[in-house]
Amino acid sequence: MTDIRDMRRRIGVTQTELAALLGLNQSTISRFEGGSLPVDDRTLLALEALIARAEAARPTALCTLCERRTDDPAVNSCTATDCPCAAREAA
């Protein structure tokens, strides 16, 4: 089962806002989320496209010391406590 509520929250919109983006009524989104109405393929594809656009537009978080990414631990990430530049900055 597709969790529309989690998908909606990922992009940070209300049911009303999501409904407007998808050309649906808020009550339809509520019924999707409540499980009383199955999500059709067209709506699911449109929602996945919205999520992809929202995530692409999200600014990348960078370490202020070395500009390595801090939003994705799998991609060369660091924090202020383990940043390789922190020791040089403190000296």
Kindly list the structural domains of the chain, giving each domain's residue range(s) and its CATH number in brackets, ordered by start: 4-57 (1.10.260.40), 60-91 (no CATH)
User: Is the C-alpha dihedral spanning 32, 35, 37, 40 positive or negative?
Assistant: positive
pTM: 0.60
pLDDT tens-digit readout, 34-81? 999 999 999 999 999 988 888 777 665 555 556 555 555 555 555 556
In angstroms, the CA 91 to CA 56 distance is 37
